[in-house]
Amino acid sequence: MAENTTSSSAKRKLGWIGGIAAFFAGLIIWGVASGQPGAAYVPELALDLQGGTSIILTPTLADGESVDPEQLTQALEIIRQRIDGTGVSEAQVSIQGEQNILVSIPGTPDANTLQLIKASALLEFRPVITYGANTVVTESAAVDFSQLSDTPSATPANGSDALWVTDRVKAQFEALDCTQAFRAAGQVDDPAKPLVTCDDTLALKYILGPVEVFGLNISNATSGTVTTQTGASTNDWAVNLEFDADGTAAFGTVTARLFTLQSPQNQFAITLDGLVITAPATNAVITNGQAQITGSFTQESATVLADQLKYGALPIGFEIQSQENISATLGEDSLAAGLLAGLIGLIVVVVYMTFQYRGLASVVLGSLIVAALLVYLAVAFLSWRQGYRLSLAGVAGLIVAIGITADSFIVYFERVRDELREGKTLEVAVEAGWKRALRTILVSDAVSITAAVTLYVLTSSSVRGFAFTLGLVTLIDLLVVALFTHPMLQLLARNKFFASGHKWSGFDLSASRAAYLGRAEFRVSEVLAEGKAEKASKEAKRRQTIAERKAKEAAND
Amino acid sequence: MTSFKQIGNDLYSGERSFDFVGRRKIWYAFAALAVILAILLPIFRGGFNFGIEFRGGSEFRLTNSQELPLELAEPAIHSVVPEVAVVISKVGVSDIRIQTEQLEDVESEAARLALAEAYKVDASTVASSFIGPNWGADVTRQAITGLLVFLVLVSILMAVYFRSWKMSLAALIALLHDLVVTAGVYAAVGFEITPAAVIGFLTILSYSLYDTVVVFDKVRENTLEIEYSETRTFGEMVNLAVNQTLVRSINTSVVAVLPVAAILFVGSALLGAGTLRDIALALFVGTIVGTYSSIFLAPPIYVHLRENEPKLKSAADKVAANR
């Protein structure tokens, strides 16, 4: 009866693991057959295996500032829409770590796409306070701006008030040379303060008042050619804007004020990422919420700007932290090398296991194949449902996992051997060994899982991909050893070849069986030399359990 | 010749025994020497050789350039930016990689075209990229945070499982030894420290502890009732446990090292510098050092930490009296 229970429980376990594999395989086959988006038999590869460009954008922040996750998600959505707008397919945009955005694009992006990705497209409308031609500053007289006052002498009446021009702003304006780099990439200005900047041709410099209308109040933006009053179209390109209710109201108020002022304070500057694109004089009070930006646009630049405005301005400024390009051939070579290394690794492990464990190596091979199948299904499934991409670091993780998986078999086999050395029969040893091995396997796998989870939560990029594979494989290892390796041994233990301790079974320990005959008695092999025999019997005495010793002492008394 | 299996049997029964615990001074000295060398060697070599991900810089790649000579790249770059340091290497089967310090956008585009011209290839086959110096630093910062959090978590895990913080401490000391020695070997070989190498180091954490935990689990089992033992001292019992798990330790390590060696071999032979080779080297060294420490360091340190506990001391005195 007991034998049958063991055997049927073993078969049930094998059924479980077969069921799990069949379930995921079935899901994937169904996904592909019914044309689910993303479902495929072959897992998607990351850029380093298929070639492409990965761009890491990092927000430009002052020291101590941090990004709030909502802004980051918002920026991510905007960047995604912008890239989709360019027609690049299969681009991936994701948040990496606490603050970076990772953009992965197949192939090499052109300069326009790059510009579109990183431009913060912060459009602002500021009144002009004053402007002048750019002056080339040859010798920079080191002025310490922070020494100068930045507080207006009285509260300015409105955005066009000359009171905004404090000593510091004035000094900054005078020292500004548009031909030198004067803005950091992705710099974001305080909307409530005046701004000293240049126009986008770098010919004029401006002092502008605080922001009056924000780009986010734009409800739509289109590009087109400028039509003359007679309705004939010209070759000049322009961006047409429509404001939402707030924008319309603000725009109306400002144009009403500017309309009455003298030049240059009747000009309304439109800045994009801090540079003045155009600063037209107000010749009408615009209350219908429609405006047109003209300037030195080409068809292309007008379209790009209109798209950027339509898809929104990024809530934070970004700069490109790294841009990496991997050719498709290098990707293929890497994948081929990874697969080759995996195959070699698998073969040498099985050869070594055959050398060490003889017939048991067939169980190892079987277990590794089952593990590999489950890993493949898991990766294909996650690639479909979670957008997981297998990277080179991930492949390396999978190969390393061959060894780690085989390790738990060794832990188990050696435990079984330990039990055999205690004189147990194979069937008993397989069970007793399993109970002890499971403890060890659980605690050591817990170490691996802790490492994988910690690294996954706290790191980003390739480290994260590697941690993910490590964790996945550790879980599958646990599943395979419990639901495949152990039941296989249970079944094999009833097989004559293994149970008899055949030379090739891997459980042949006849070489020196310190035969354990019963409580507190040891038979010492006759072939042992005198001294050695003595030592062995002493050893046996030492190995008595407390209960056995006490029993013997009681008997001697 | 005695077979491996025979040795396994003898080690289990205690008939054959290696004195791992008793000769601990030798193993400590050996480990100390390795750690000192691992610290001194990189200093003599002028520090770690950090990859472009840590230094920041511009990089150009020529694809499908099997037959093309490497020397053409340097004059091409110098025609655009004179006197900039240029590092040229072959990556993969058919790529040439040219690294320089970070160039301006305009310079970088000009250099790309100059390379295409020098090699007489289409400009589209030359890709340029740049990596800001913060990237590698970001990865490292995250890795170090991850490392610290992991160490705290895993110490708690081990302390709870083994019900002894001294085992955690012994395992952590052994782990520290593994990390320092591996980093030292990595620097001595002169490979670039890349994010892939950092991944390799992080995996050592997990593997080195895995190995130690397997040994400690047997130690825990053998020493459950050690206070009552009249035949073996605590140290001797731990030593028996290490001997009993020796075959297992060797087998698990060999099996863990074999696939890593396959990656190292295939990575270096086929791909040259890159993710595979960097991860594999760190892991290869780390696994071997980790095996050494889980047999020769962690158990003796554990004995060292505990043998002076009054209970164990009196038990040891009793054992001595019995002999």
Of A325, A337, A356, the CB nearest to B276: A337
Tell me, what's the pLDDT at A187? 67
Give the position of tokens 């140290």: B235
Residue type, A191: P
The H helix count followed by the E strand count for chain B is 13, 4
Q: Which phi and psi angles does A266 have, rounded to 5°?
A: -90, 5
pLDDT band with cut points at 50, 70 and 90 for residue A440: confident
- Put simply, the chain A residues between 469 and 488 with a CB less than 8 A from any chain B CB are 470
pLDDT band with cut points at 50, 70 and 90 for residue A43: confident
Q: What percent of chain A has pLDDT over 90?
A: 7
Question: Are the beta carbons of A392 and B276 separated by less than 8 Å?
Answer: yes
Q: If we measure between CA atoms, which residue out of A283, A315, A301, A312 comes closest to residue A239?
A: A301
Q: Strand, coil or helix: what is B130? A: strand
Tell me, what's the pLDDT at A321? 77
Contacts of A89 (CB under 8 A, 6+ apart): A106
Distance from CA of A275 to the nearest CA of B (A): 20
| Residue A426 host element (H or E) | helix A426-458
Mean pLDDT of A22-51: 85
Of B218, B225, B262, the CB nearest to A345: B262
Q: Which phi and psi angles does A207 have, rounded to 5°?
A: -115, 120
Q: Is residue A511 scored above 60 in pLDDT?
A: no
Q: If we measure between CA atoms, which residue out of B207, B206, B187 comes closest to residue B197?
A: B187
Q: If we measure between CA atoms, which residue out of B226, B204, B205, B87 comes closest to residue B149?
A: B205
Give the Cα separation of B289 and B204 in Å (integer).
10
Tell me, what's the pLDDT at B66? 63
Question: Does pTM surpass 0.80?
Answer: no
List A275's β-bridge partners, or say none. A272
Contacts of A548 (CB under 8 A, 6+ apart): A519, A520
Of A321, A341, A448, the CB nearest to B262: A341
Residue of chain B whose alpha carbon sits nearest to that of A466: B199
Q: Is residue A64 scored above 70 in pLDDT?
A: no
User: Does the structural domain B9-50+135-322 have CATH classification 1.20.120.550?
Assistant: no
Give the Cα separation of A309 and A125 in Å (integer).
13
Mean pLDDT of A53-61: 80
CA dihedral B115, B118, B124, B128 (to 10 degrees): -10
Give the Cα separation of B243 and B253 in Å (integer).
15
Tell me, what's the pLDDT at A50? 80
Chain A residues within 8 A of B128 when measuring between CB atoms: 325
pLDDT digits (tens, 9 = 90+) for A168-225: 888 888 888 887 777 765 566 778 888 888 887 788 889 998 888 887 788 888 888 8
Q: Strand, coil or helix: what is A238? A: strand
Q: How remote is the C-alpha of A170 from its chain's centroid?
A: 46
Contacts of B231 (CB under 8 A, 6+ apart): A541, A542, B319, B322
| Residue A251 host element (H or E) | helix A245-259
Higher pLDDT, residue B130 or A439: A439
Q: Is residue A553 scored above 60 in pLDDT?
A: no
Span B57-131 CATH architecture:
2-Layer Sandwich (3.30)
Query: Between the ranges A236-245, A306-315, A430-439, B119-128, where is the mean pLDDT highest?
Result: A430-439
Question: Are the beta carbons of A344 and B217 separated by less than 8 Å?
Answer: no
Q: What percent of chain B has pLDDT over 90?
A: 10
pLDDT band with cut points at 50, 70 and 90 for residue B261: very high
pLDDT digits (tens, 9 = 90+) for B195-205: 778 878 878 87
Q: Show the domains of chain A with their CATH numbers.
A: 2-43+327-499 (1.20.1640.10), 123-319 (3.30.1360.200), 517-556 (no CATH)
Higher pLDDT, residue B135 or B38: B38
Question: Are the beta carbons of B92 and A334 separated by less than 8 Å?
Answer: yes
List Cα–Cα distances, A83 to A72, A80, A308, A311, A465, in angstroms: 16, 5, 10, 10, 24
pLDDT digits (tens, 9 = 90+) for A129-149: 888 888 777 665 566 777 777
As a whole number, the mean pLDDT across chain B is 82
Chain B residues within 8 A of A336 when measuring between CB atoms: 270
Q: Is residue A324 scored above 70 in pLDDT?
A: yes
Give the range among A195-204, A315-324, A356-365, B195-204 with minimum mean pLDDT.
Answer: A315-324
User: Given strand B95-100, what is the order of strands in its sheet?
Assistant: A92-96, A100-105, A52-59, A318-326, B126-131, B57-62, B95-100, B86-91
Name the region of B236 (left: φ>0; alpha: ψ -120 to 50; beta: rest): alpha
Higher pLDDT, residue B108 or B167: B167
Number of A/B CB contacts below 8 angstroms equals 276
Helical H segments across A358-425, by residue range:
361-385, 392-421
As a whole number, the mean pLDDT across chain A is 78
The ipTM value here is 0.82
Give the Cα separation of A153 and A161 in Å (integer).
12
Distance from CA of A330 to the nearest CA of B (A): 6
Tell me, what's the pLDDT at A4? 67
Give the Cα separation of A443 and B212 in Å (integer).
11
- What DSSP character marks residue A146? G
Give the Cα separation of A136 and A139 in Å (integer).
9
Give the range among A254-258, B202-206, B262-266 with minimum mean pLDDT.
Answer: B202-206
What are the boundaries of each domain within chain B? Answer: 9-50+135-322, 57-131
Helical H segments across B163-245, by residue range:
165-189, 195-222, 234-244
| Residue A292 host element (H or E) | strand A290-294
